[in-house]
Structure formats: C-alpha cells, structure tokens
C-alpha cells in the first residue's frame, strides 16, 4: 500500500461517525459471521436510523430474520445492489467474518459477470486487498462506505489492563515480540494475530482464523518447548489496513480458547479491535485468570 | 540484522568447504534431531577426515552410538568444550533440529553459569538470534564454525522440477506468494516455511516446525475456503540468515505430510535447502503425484 493510500485510510479511520439521517435511508449492513453485524444494526437503530441487512449466505447467522433483510450469495452482485437501492440505502457498512469462497462455487448473476474478472484477481490478493477491491465496487455504484467502528466506537478496546489480572514483565516482553510479528505478517497482508510464549512464536494466524490457531496450540503438548502456562495472544489490524473493513474482534470465546491453549492472557491494539461483549469478555478473563490488555502502540518494526 | 552482518553471512555461505585435514582433527558435529548430523559425519569421513559427535540429549538420535561421541545436555557447556578439546576437534558444525529447551529445565555446569546470562537473553531472541549467539560462544573459545552445507553440498536442492510432476501456472503464483510471506516471517526471525493455496495462506511455520504446520492443515476440513487439492509448501532460510546454521531440510516424510495436507507440491529455495535423501524424496513425490521444485530466487519483498 502506498503512503498516500495509508494516509487516506488513516483519515477515514479518524473521520467522525456519519450521523444517521432519514435522508440517507437505513444503513445497509453487509453481514458476515458472528455478532458484529447484529451489534452494528442495533447501534444504527439506537442512533435514530434503521438498518437493512444484506445477509451473506453461508456466513450471516439467523438473527437477520428479525430485521428487514435479503439473503445473497457472494456472486449475486446485481441482487445485492438492487436490494440495497430498493431499501433506500445510500450508506453501507461491512461487518462480520467471511470465509473466502472458492470462486468456482459462486452462483453469478449478470452484474457479477461484469466484475467477475476483478473479483477473480482480488481473490488471489490478501484479505485486505480483497476487501479494498470490493469496497471500490460499492463506491463506484454510488454507495458511501461507513466504518463499522464509527458507529460501534463503544466496543473498541480501551488501553490498559481491563480485568483483574495484569500482564507480568515477561508477558509484556512476549507482547512486544508478538506485535513485531503481527506487523510483519500484516505487511504482506496475512493474518491479524500471533501467539508468543517466553520469546517463542507458538502460532501465526492464517486464513483459518484465531480460534483455529489457538486450537493448534492447545493440541500441541510440546508447546514448542514453552512452559505449560505461558504466553500471550496479540490481535491487531494490519499496518495500513483500511479500517473500514474487518477490524479484529475478541469475545468471551476467545478467552476460553486462549485459556485452553495455556496462555497467560490476550492483548489487542487499543482503539482498533472490537470487544464483542466487553462485560462478558472481561468477566471470562477474570474467571479464567487471564489478563485482557489494550496495548497503546504497535512496536516499531 | 545489519547489512554488514548480512554481507558477512553471505560471504561465509559462499566460502568453499574447508578441506578436512588430520591437523584439524575430527570434525565436531553438534548433533540435534534427524538424519542431517549423521549424513554430515558420514560425509566428513568420506572426505578423508573423521567426526566426533556431541549428541544433544533429547534431540540427537541413537545412530550416534556407532560413532565416537559424548551425550551432553544443553546447559553442559563446559562438558561440550572439554569433550571437543579432548577429541582433538578444532572445527565444529551444527546440524539437526533442536527444540528450544525451557531454560529452567537445564542442568548447568560451571562454565555454563559463566554464559548463562547470555544464553537466557538469546533464548528470547528468534532462532537465528539464538544460533548466532551460540556460534559466537564457540568462536570465542577458538573453534572454527563450519557450515554443514560446505560439506554436504551434494544434498542442496537443485533448481527446477526434480520429479515427474511440474508445478502449474497457478502453483507458481502460489509459490510467489509463499516466497513473499516466508521472507516477511524471516525478517522478524520466525519460521522458514508457509503454505499458500489459490492465494490463501493456509499455514505459517512457528516453532513447532513444518510437520506440525502440515498436520494443522490436514486436520482442517474447511481449508480456509481453498479447494480440496491445491497449494504449495515453500521452505527457505530466513533473509540474511547465517547459513552456517539451521538450513531447512526436506525429506520423504515432508512429501507424505504435504500429500496428507492436500497440497499440489513442495518448493524450496534452490541451493539453500537440504534434501535429506534426494532419491527417496523424489520417488515419494512421484508416487504421491506431487511436484518437488527448486525455486531460483525469492520474490522481491
């Protein structure tokens, strides 16, 4: 990513929340997996607007049935745009995880064929490249892309120790090493997380995600030579990532999996990672004896 | 690593094999896991010298019993040096994998206490940092460090397709992406391998090693959205790595695990990765229908 593009992404991230207004119509929520899209729709309604859900088949969850919605396959680009227009949406936001579909399994509609070659190329890029490209396709069609965190700012992790347990000096060393590793991964548009224990890198997040990485560590009795109980999971967006898409999220389940993997705690970049249910996440950390820590600044590379 | 250090490492890598001579005494082989140290000892003998094995407890394998040898714990630094001196070794080479021991489990001898603070700091570094530091401790005591590949040059992977199967254009795209990712990991002194399938990064090598990474992928039915049979494992030393230590190695078992993980093939940096048993490795690739490919040049970052 160029520096100019990075600066633009940073500006977008810093821009204040676009106030919902009736003139903009409901917020179009392009909904993937997990709780984040539901939280986003609820927040839009709380803030005086409404939400219309584009539920991605195979990703979005049953809660969408309680909202005005349409189910769409990834390849049904025409259906996505016409549904959003019919619902009066001018602003759209992406939220929730999406497994990269194999392009061959998509059902394309006519409009999708028009962008298929771009999609095919995008699918070979990293996640951030893919999302940027998809975002551009929406913008070209006149939609304004809204960052989920401009509406869900309350859920962004604050700085410092959030529960009863604080990281030790050794945990903070592991955190600094994990920050360095996550930054390096992010620069080549790979995962948003890593686990380090006593200086040893026990796990690196690939497309299967954080839970799979923690499961890998939990299933490895040797732990790469690390002590039985040690280490930190660190989550952060990629350096220069367009923060309108795919901010990492941590919830109570992350804490359970981190405990099962024998870690001392979980850390995340403060202000750039969602806590899906802050009270429940902190309660889980306390119950499991883990720290939950918002790190102010990524380590310099 | 500084550019000067990288240049020095490159010079060392390029230096011709030190001819074994009786005046230098036997080659001291600091032996970890796997077949590489045995192959090294056999090659030293074939080249007219002899070998004396320092077998690292918990890592070296039973073949060492057939050679002049001593078993040493990681922390028995004094015993290692005095054994090497008693055997008349002036040149030493490191070969074979070593899991990073937890420092607390070491049994130290008196000399080790003298270097314990350095070792403790080194153990928090990446692998390459650790090995460089250990190497310096040997050099300070007057030993000459020999690169295993200066003796085992015959086992370095050549360039191009080595078996009957050649990588497809898509495999080569995946290879280029994997090269980019392995280089990024290496720059922060993490693993020497990654798996990419149709542009998706399915696995990143952490301290548990290549087999564990391939097992993780084999155990993931979703494959991060990648097709059931796709992808390439790429192995390479870290950029700027001191090539006297810890060159990656591939053997028939790697091919079995790559097949179990549903990959199309295995690639490695030509001239910088060992094939543990070239004929058997190529035969395994052919039998399993995988490509085995020496890549000339790492992708530019």
Please tell me the least confidently modeled range out of A193-202, A214-223, B104-113, B273-282: B104-113
Compare all CA atoms of chain B with the CA of A194 and give the residue at the minimum distance. B206
CB of A173 within 8 Å of any CB in chain B?
A: yes
Q: Which tens digits make up the pLDDT trace of A5-27?
A: 444 444 444 444 444 455 679 99
Q: In what side-by-side order are the strands of the sheet with A144-145?
A: A69-72, A51-56, A27-31, A91-95, A144-145
* CA distance linking residue A155 with residue A271, whole number of Å: 9
Along chain B (301 residues), what's the average pLDDT of each consecutive run of 10 residues? Answer: 44 44 82 90 92 90 94 82 94 81 52 62 63 81 91 94 97 96 92 92 92 93 80 92 83 96 97 94 98 80 41
Tell which A residues from 253 to 282 touch B, by Cβ distance under 8 Å: none
CB of A185 within 8 Å of any CB in chain B?
A: yes
pLDDT at position A112, please?
61
Q: Report the candidate in B18, B34, B81 with the shortest Cα–Cα distance to residue B54.
A: B81
Strand-pair category, B69-72 with B91-95: unpaired
Are the Cβ atoms of B124 and A99 closer than 8 angstroms? no
pLDDT at position A135, please?
82
List the beta bridge partners of residue A144. A91
Chain B residues within 8 A of A208 when measuring between CB atoms: 202, 220, 222, 224
Are the Cβ atoms of A202 and B200 closer than 8 angstroms? no
pTM of the full structure: 0.81
Task: For chain A, state the CA radius of gyration.
Answer: 19
pLDDT at position A124, please?
60
Are the Cβ atoms of B212 and A220 closer than 8 angstroms? yes
More confident residue, A221 or A198: A198
pLDDT at position B45, please?
93
Tell which A residues from 101 to 130 touch B, by Cβ distance under 8 Å: 101-102, 104, 123-126
Q: What is the rounded average pLDDT of the residues A35-54?
A: 93
Q: Report the candidate in B5, B21, B23 with the shortest Cα–Cα distance to residue B13.
A: B5
- Local confidence band at A300 (pLDDT 50, 70, 90 cut-offs): very low
More confident residue, A115 or A256: A256
pLDDT at position A264, please?
98
Residue among B199, B204, B224 minimizing CB distance to A124: B199
pLDDT at position B123, please?
60
Are the Cβ atoms of B99 and A222 closer than 8 angstroms? yes
Q: Is the pLDDT of residue A113 over 70?
A: no
Chain centroid offset of residue A226 CA: 29
Are the Cβ atoms of B188 and A202 closer than 8 angstroms? no
Q: Which tens digits make up the pLDDT trace of B214-257?
A: 999 999 877 777 788 999 999 999 887 878 777 889 999 999 99
* CA distance linking residue B225 with residue A58, whole number of Å: 12
Going from the C-alpha of B105 to that of each of A134, B108, B293, the distances in angstroms are: 52, 9, 40
The sign of the torsion formed by the CA atoms of B77, B79, B81, B84 equals negative
CB neighbour list of residue B46: distance below 8 Å, 6 or more residues apart: none
Residue indicated by tokens 């996440």:
A281
- Local confidence band at A127 (pLDDT 50, 70, 90 cut-offs): low
pLDDT at position A134, please?
77
The sign of the torsion formed by the CA atoms of B112, B117, B118, B123 equals positive
pLDDT at position A299, please?
47
Residue indicated by tokens 């995988």:
B290
Are the Cβ atoms of A102 and B227 closer than 8 angstroms? yes
Residue among A102, A124, A191 minimizing CB distance to B173: A124
pLDDT at position B223, please?
77
């Amino acid at each position: 990513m160029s520096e100019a593009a990075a600066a633009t992404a940073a500006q977008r991230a810093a821009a204040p929340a676009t106030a919902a207004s009736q003139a903009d119509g409901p917020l179009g929520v392009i909904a993937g997996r997990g709780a984040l899209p539901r939280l986003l729709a609820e927040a839009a309604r709380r803030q005086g607007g409404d939400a219309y859900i584009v539920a991605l088949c195979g990703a979005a969850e049953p809660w969408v049935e309680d909202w005005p919605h349409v189910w769409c396959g990834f390849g049904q680009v025409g259906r996505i745009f016409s549904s959003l227009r019919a619902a009066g949406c001018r602003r759209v936001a992406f939220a929730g995880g999406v497994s990269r579909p194999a392009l061959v399994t998509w059902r394309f509609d006519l409009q999708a064929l028009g962008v298929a070659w771009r999609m095919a190329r995008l699918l070979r890029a990293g996640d951030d490249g893919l999302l940027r490209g998809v975002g551009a396709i929406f913008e070209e069609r006149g939609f304004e892309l809204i960052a989920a965190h401009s509406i869900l700012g309350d859920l962004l992790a604050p700085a410092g120790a959030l529960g009863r347990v604080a990281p030790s000096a050794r945990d903070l060393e592991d955190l600094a090493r994990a920050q360095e590793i996550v930054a390096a991964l992010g620069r080549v548009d790979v995962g948003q997380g890593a686990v380090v224990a006593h200086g040893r890198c026990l796990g690196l997040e690939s497309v299967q995600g954080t839970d799979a990485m923690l499961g890998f560590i939990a299933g490895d009795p040797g732990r790469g030579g690390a002590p039985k109980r040690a280490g930190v999971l660190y989550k952060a967006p990629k350096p220069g990532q367009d923060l309108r898409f795919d901010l990492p999220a941590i919830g109570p389940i992350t804490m359970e999996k981190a405990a099962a993997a024998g870690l001392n705690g979980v850390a995340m970049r403060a202000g750039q990672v969602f806590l899906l249910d802050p009270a429940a996440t902190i309660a889980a950390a306390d119950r499991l004896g883990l720290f939950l820590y918002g790190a102010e600044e990524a380590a310099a590379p």
